[in-house]
Amino acid sequence: MSNVLFDPLFGRHADSNAPFLMPDGAATLSYGTFVSLSARLAQVFAGLGLIKGDRVALQVAKSPVALAVYAACLRSGLVLLPLNTAYTTSELSYFIGDADPGLVICDERQATAMADILNGAALHTLNADGSGSLTDAAAGMQGTHTVMDCAADDLAAILYTSGTTGRSKGAMLTHANLLSNAQALADLWQFNADDVLLHALPIFHTHGLFVAVNVLALSGAAMLFHTGFNVENLLRDLPCATVLMGVPTFYTRLLAKPGFNRDATSHMRLFVSGSAPLLADTHTQFEDRTGHRILERYGMTETNMNASNPCDGERRPGTVGFALPGTELRITDSDTGAELPQGQTGMIEVRGPNVFHGYWRMPEKTAAELRANGFFITGDLGQIDPDGYLMIVGRQKDLIISGGYNIYPKEIEVLLDALPGVAESAVFGVADADFGEATIGVVVPEPGCPLDPAALLAGITPHLARFKHPRRIVVVDDLPRNAMGKVQKNILRQTYAAPGEPPG
C-alpha cells in the first residue's frame, strides 16, 4: 500500500526511537510511539464503520492525542475537519451539517450540547489531558494498522474559512497539496533532524498543523509541544529550541520581556512569522534586540504557504518575500483579470501544487475564485517591488472607495504606525452618504503614551492626497482579533458605522 502523505510524514518513522513530541510537563513521545498511537486510533475509526473519504470533525484542546487523530485520519484515508475551539454550538451546527462527518470528537464537557447537532455522526470525547472515550477505546487496540492506499488527489482535510463575510467555505486540501508545500518549506527553511521547533500555535489552523507539524515530521525533527501561548513558557524553553514559528503577537510579547535578548536567542536558528501582518517596527526592534531577522511568509487556508522571505538572503520588512519554488504569483486587475505591470497594485493570484481543489459542495464559489487555468484569486491586494519582493496591501473587501477613488488602508496604516507613541493601527471604511465610504483610523497607543487624535491626523495628512485623509481617528485600548491574531475589520466597521448608516 502507498499513502502519499502519511508515508513520508509518519510512516517511515514507525520504528524510530527519535524524539518527536516533548509536551510541557509530560513524557516525551518518540516517533515510533506516536505512529503506534495513530494506528490504535485508526482501528477505533474502522470499528465505527468509517471508510475512506469519510470526514472526522475535531474540536478539542491541543494535546498529543489530538495531533495523533490527524495522523490516524491520514493513514485511514479519512478527511480531517479541524474546528476552532472557540466556535459556538450554533457555528458548529453549520460546519457539521455542511461537512456531514461520520465522527465528531469533542471535549466531554461539550458532549451534551454536541449530541443535539451530530447530524447522524458518531461521537467520541477527548479532553485536554488526553483522557476521554476516544483514548479509552484506543487503549484496547493493537498498535498496528494497515495503512490505506491514498493517491495524490485524495482529500486529506477540509478547512473552513473564517467566514467574516458570508457563509464559511470548506477548502478541500489533498494529500499532494499538503506534501508539496511541506517539501518546499522544509527545503527553503533548511530544516533537518537536528532542529527542535518550539510549537505554541493551535493545531486547528493551517499554520500550527500543516506548516509546523508537516515540515517538522518530514524533516525528522522534534518539537517542544506547548498546549498554548504563554510568553513565560516560551522564554523558559527557548534555550532548548532552534526554531520558533509564531504570529506577530508572539514577537511583540517577547519584546516586552527584558530577559529576551541576544543571550536568550544565541542558539536559535530561525524565527518565522505569519497568519497576520508583522509591523516593520517589530522587525526592527527584534533585530536590534536579538540580532535575528524574523522571516515573514504569506499563506492562506486555500493554499497553505505561497511566498516566503529567504532563509539565506535579505528578509525585507513589510514584504512576504518571493513565490515558493513550484508556485507562481501574479498581480492582476480585479475587474478584468489582466496581469498588471510590476509595481502596480492589484489582485494577488497564485497557481501551483499547493492550491486547493475547490470548496466543499460549493461549485459556484469554486468557479468564481479558481480560474480554469489553475490560478486562485486570493482576495488579497498586493504589489511586487523592483527586486521581486511581494508586499501585501490588504484584502479586496477592505479596499475603501471614497468619492470614486480607491484608498488602500495599508498605506495609511504604515504612516500611523510610524508616529511616536503608536503601537499599531487599523484603517477601514464606513458608509457615507456623500462619498460612498468615509475613512476611519483606529490606533492603539504604546504603554504610557497618551495620544491626541488631532495631532495624529496632522502628522499623516502632509503625506497623503486629500481624498485619502481619514475622516476621524479614534484611540482605543486594543484591536479586535480572531484566534490567529488577524484584525477583524468587519467588527470595526460595525462598531464605528455612522448612526443610521449600515456597517461598511
Q: Are residues 22 and 87 in the same domain?
A: yes
Cβ atoms of 489 and 458 within 8 Å: the answer is no
13 & 101 share domain? yes
Residue 71: inside a domain: yes
pLDDT (tens, 9 = 90+) of the chain, 504 residues, equals: 699 999 999 999 999 999 999 998 889 999 999 999 999 999 999 999 999 999 999 999 999 999 999 999 999 999 999 998 888 888 899 999 999 999 999 999 999 999 999 999 999 999 999 999 999 999 999 878 999 999 999 999 999 986 544 578 999 999 999 999 999 999 999 999 999 999 999 999 999 999 999 999 999 999 999 999 999 999 999 999 999 999 888 998 999 999 999 999 999 999 999 887 788 888 999 999 999 999 999 999 999 999 999 999 999 998 999 999 999 999 999 889 999 999 999 999 999 999 999 999 999 999 999 999 999 999 999 999 999 999 998 778 788 878 767 787 888 998 999 999 999 999 999 887 667 788 999 999 999 999 999 999 999 988 887 888 999 999 999 999 987 788 999 899 989 986 433 333
CA angle, 5 as apex, 31 and 378 as ends, to 5°?
Answer: 120
- Where do the H-state alpha helices sit in 118-268? 133-139, 175-188, 206, 214-219, 231-237, 248-255, 262-265
* Domain-located, residue 404: yes
User: What pTM, to 2 d.p., does this model score?
Assistant: 0.85
Residues 145 and 37 in one domain: yes
Break the chain down into helix, strand, coil percent, rounded to 5.
35, 25, 40
Q: Domain range spanning residue 219?
A: 189-293
271, 293, 315 — which closes off a domain?
A: 293
* CA distances from residue 268 to 26, 151, 263, 471 in whole angstroms, order as listed: 23, 37, 10, 45
Burial class (CB in 10 A: 0-12, 13-18, 19+), 115: exposed
- 256 within some domain: yes
Last residue of a domain, one of 275, 293, 311: 293
Whether 218 is covered by a domain: the verdict is yes
**Could you tell me if residue 89 is inside a domain?**
yes
Residue 421 shares a structural domain with residue 471: yes
Supply the DSSP string of 326-369, one letter for each residue. Answer: T-EEEEE-TTT-PBPPTT--EEEEEESTTS---BTT-HHHHHHH
102, 125, 150 — which closes off a domain?
150
Does some domain include residue 460? yes
Round to whole Å and give the CA distance between 33 and 397.
46
Q: Residue 407 domain-assigned?
A: yes
In the chain, the number of structural domains is 3
Same domain, 198 and 263: yes
Domain match, 129 and 227 both: no
Angle of helix 409-417 relative to helix 453-460, nearest 10 degrees? 110
Give the CATH number for residue 226: 3.40.50.980
80 and 18 share one domain: yes
Domain co-membership, 23 together with 114? yes
Alpha-carbon distance of 486 to 248, in angstroms, equals 9
Q: 218 and 97 in one domain? A: no
| Distance (Å, whole) CA 8 – CA 13 | 8
